[in-house]
């Protein structure tokens, strides 16, 4: 049954990508939005309305962005160019290409997300495991509702509070951005530390909000693991409790958490986008925000597509690797 | 509580805005749970190919972040959004959770003796669904509705904070949007940004407690502390 599962999973991945592209293409057109017209009108308003030959300008724009072909033509062009990661030119930041803008922003987001998700996954899981291990301590029991509240607060709201507390009131950390506006990026160690310093607060707000979620998940997994026969055996053998905790408990309970990671990935990334906006961090989220503010259709579509493809791909990866690391999963009943 | 950057009274905008936010949540949650009940019941009860198709659709949308679908919807709406439009698009994107949960609940219910009995006695399917399964699943549906409302509120605040909300409204999400716009936390205007966050947290805790209570009502054996 192995091969059938893999084929089904890859088929699902392809369908997801196509669905996203189609939504991205048809919804705005279905409601009759004309991005170019809107942009020109906006430019007119901003420049105080020069009058002049608007229609010609609009025509030339349309030709440039291929909006004058038939719908089917447009769709096919759109699908193929999107799959080649070519999102056309940005309207508001013309002549920059959307692909280049995304390429510049992506490393920031990837760095921030990977590090903070890994830290919160490990810290949260350990805290959750420890909570089950030492039952009956009132202090620990009362942490759980607090953890729940923290996991329910959106990351970016926590970010707002953290900025005010640590950056504004205490001035421990920089107020915004990925590095100081006055520095020129280079490869020196000094610049690296500057990036680090700027990323602590955004990362911390993601970690704080996420850890609660992982702790709660791990706690319920540990409760199940504790009841297993091999745990009783380990105790009966007289192994020291530290070894039982790590080698017998955590090791078995942490695997299903990986599946939860795949499922909550979209939630994490949505939160991280908003965190970036709050901190003006130069990643994908801020780029999206700029696109929305300027109503730059192509930036929005490009960012949206990148988000979809990266999430779908990560989920595919986790789903394909998971049966290899957890032999208890029978692929046939997935 | 002072006034905000535009000279509006903070207390008043919170008093007006909180019901608006909750209203968005309830309308959207209602749409979500309705779709969830329809799809989940259909999938769970009829099984087979119908179940497979619905499960596949759920899997597809599972991989697309709701926020992304919301953004596409929001930029597709011409002109300024109204609160109702916002509730609608959030509702259309919040059917995943309820569909999944209710499907598995129906699958369990279907195997119970009294349902099998009524099947063998030749009751039509719609009668079994409406007379046997739905009344018994009602507490689950209610508890799920509360959690869907919570999720919808979260989603709506997110989309508003991005600047794609209903600008005419005073909802908590819009207040947060303006706070980010004027970066009020860098100006130290704590009296403007703290109330909406506090209210959001309070709303969440209340919804969580309500859903816990409904869960216990549905399943008295659950009587746990948290």
Alpha-carbon distance A275 to A159, whole Å?
Answer: 6
Contacts of A307 in chain B (CB under 8 A): 65, 68
DSSP state of A33: -
pLDDT of residue A213: 84
How high is the pLDDT of residue B35?
92
Provide the pLDDT for residue A176.
67
**CA distance to partner chain B, nearest, from residue A237 (Å):** 32
Q: pLDDT tens digits, residue range A259-311?
A: 888 778 888 888 888 888 888 888 898 898 888 887 777 788 888 888 888 88
The pLDDT of residue A183: 65
Q: Torsion over CA of A201, A202, A208 and A209, rounded to 10 degrees?
A: 150
Which residues of chain B, if any, have pLDDT below 50? 225-226
CA atoms within 13 A on the CB side of A302: 30
> How far is the C-alpha of B223 from the C-alpha of B162, rounded, in Å?
40
Least Cα distance to A201 among B185, B20, B48, B34 occurs for: B185
pLDDT of residue B70: 87
- Asked if residues A142 and A233 have their Cβ atoms less than 8 Å apart, the reply is no
Q: Which of B60, B63, B73, B210 to mutate to test the interface with A (most CBs of A within 10 A)?
A: B63
User: Looking at residue B26, what is its pLDDT?
Assistant: 94
Percent of chain A at pLDDT above 90? 0
- The structure's pTM equals 0.80
pLDDT, tens digit (0-9, with 9 covering 90-100), for A98-119: 888 888 888 888 888 888 888 9
Q: Does B64 contact chain A (CB < 8 Å)?
A: yes
Q: Which of B77, B158, B225 sits opposite A154 (nearest CB)?
A: B158
A136-160 per-position pLDDT tens digit: 666 666 777 777 777 777 778 888 8
Report the first-to-last Cα separation within chain A, whole angstroms.
11
Q: Residue A62: pLDDT above 70?
A: no
Contact A157 B186 (CB under 8 A): no
Contact A152 B150 (CB under 8 A): yes
Residue A66: per-residue pLDDT: 64
List, for residues A200-240, the tens digit of each pLDDT value: 888 888 888 888 888 888 888 888 888 888 888 888 888 88
Which residues in chain B are contacts of A153 at CB distance < 8 A?
A: 197, 200-201, 204
* Cβ contact, residue pair A308, B63, below 8 Å: yes
pLDDT at A334: 45
pLDDT score, position A178: 65
Q: Between A327 and A305, name the one with better pLDDT.
A: A305
B68 vs A12, A153, A308: nearest CB:
A308
Q: Are A162 and A205 in contact (CB under 8 A)?
A: yes
Start-end of H helices in chain B: 10-46, 48-62, 66-76, 83-92, 96-110, 113-120, 125-127, 134-161, 172-181, 184-187, 190-218
**Average confidence score pLDDT of chain A:** 78
Chain A CA closest to residue B197: A157
Is A226 at the interface with chain B, CB within 8 A? no
More confidently predicted of A127 and B7: A127
Cα separation, B173 vs B196, in Å, equals: 8
């Amino acid at each position: 049954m192995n091969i059938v599962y893999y084929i089904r999973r890859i088929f699902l991945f392809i369908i997801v990508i196509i669905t996203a592209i189609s939504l991205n293409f048809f919804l705005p057109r279905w409601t009759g939005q004309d991005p170019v017209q809107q942009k020109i009108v906006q430019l007119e308003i901003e420049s105080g309305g020069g009058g002049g030959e608007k229609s010609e300008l609009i025509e030339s724009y349309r030709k440039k962005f291929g909006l004058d072909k038939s719908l089917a033509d447009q769709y096919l062009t759109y699908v193929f160019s999107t799959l080649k990661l070519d999102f056309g030119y940005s309207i508001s930041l013309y002549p920059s290409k959307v692909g280049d803008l995304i390429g510049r922003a992506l490393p920031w987001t990837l760095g921030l997300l990977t590090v903070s998700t890994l830290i919160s996954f490990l810290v949260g899981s350990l805290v959750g495991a420890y909570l089950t291990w030492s039952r009956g301590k009132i202090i620990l029991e009362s942490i759980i509702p607090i953890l729940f509240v923290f996991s329910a607060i959106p990351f970016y709201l926590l970010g707002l509070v953290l900025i005010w507390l640590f950056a504004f009131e205490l001035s421990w950390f920089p107020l915004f951005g990925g590095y100081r506006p006055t520095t020129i990026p280079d490869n020196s160690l000094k610049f690296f530390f500057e990036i680090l310093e700027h990323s602590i607060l955004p990362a911390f707000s993601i970690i704080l909000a996420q850890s609660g979620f992982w702790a709660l998940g791990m706690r319920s997994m540990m409760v199940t693991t504790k009841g297993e026969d091999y745990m009783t055996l380990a105790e009966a053998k007289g192994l020291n409790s530290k070894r039982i905790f790590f080698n017998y408990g955590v090791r078995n309970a942490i695997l299903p958490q990986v599946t939860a990671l795949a499922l909550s990935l979209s939630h994490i990334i949505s939160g991280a986008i908003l965190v970036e906006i709050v901190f003006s961090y130069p990643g994908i989220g801020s780029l999206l925000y700029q696109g929305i503010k300027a109503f730059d259709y192509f930036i929005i579509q490009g960012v949206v597509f990148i988000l979809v493809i990266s999430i779908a791909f990560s989920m595919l990866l986790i789903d394909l690797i998971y049966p290899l690391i957890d032999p208890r999963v029978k692929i046939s009943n997935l | 509580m002072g006034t905000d950057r535009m000279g509006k009274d903070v207390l008043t905008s919170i008093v007006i805005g909180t019901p608006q936010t909750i209203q968005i949540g309830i309308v959207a949650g209602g749409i979500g749970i309705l779709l969830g009940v329809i799809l989940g019941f259909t999938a769970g009860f009829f099984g087979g190919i119908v179940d497979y198709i619905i499960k596949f659709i759920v899997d597809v949308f599972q991989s697309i972040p709701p926020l992304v679908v919301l953004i596409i919807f929001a930029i597709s709406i011409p002109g300024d959004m109204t609160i109702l439009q916002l509730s609608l698009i959030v509702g259309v994107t919040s059917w995943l959770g309820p569909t999944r949960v209710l499907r598995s609940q129906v699958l369990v219910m279907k195997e119970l003796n009294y349902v099998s009995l009524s099947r063998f006695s030749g009751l039509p399917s719609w009668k079994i669904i409406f007379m046997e399964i739905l009344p018994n699943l009602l507490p689950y549906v209610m508890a799920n509705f509360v959690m869907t409302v919570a999720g919808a509120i979260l989603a709506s605040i997110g989309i508003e904070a991005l600047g794609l909300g209903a600008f005419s409204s005073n909802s908590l999400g819009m207040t947060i949007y303006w706070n980010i716009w004027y970066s009020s936390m860098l100006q130290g205007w704590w009296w403007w940004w703290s109330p909406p966050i506090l209210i959001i947290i309070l709303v969440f805790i209340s919804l969580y407690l309500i859903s816990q209570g409904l869960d216990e009502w549905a399943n008295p054996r659950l009587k746990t502390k948290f």
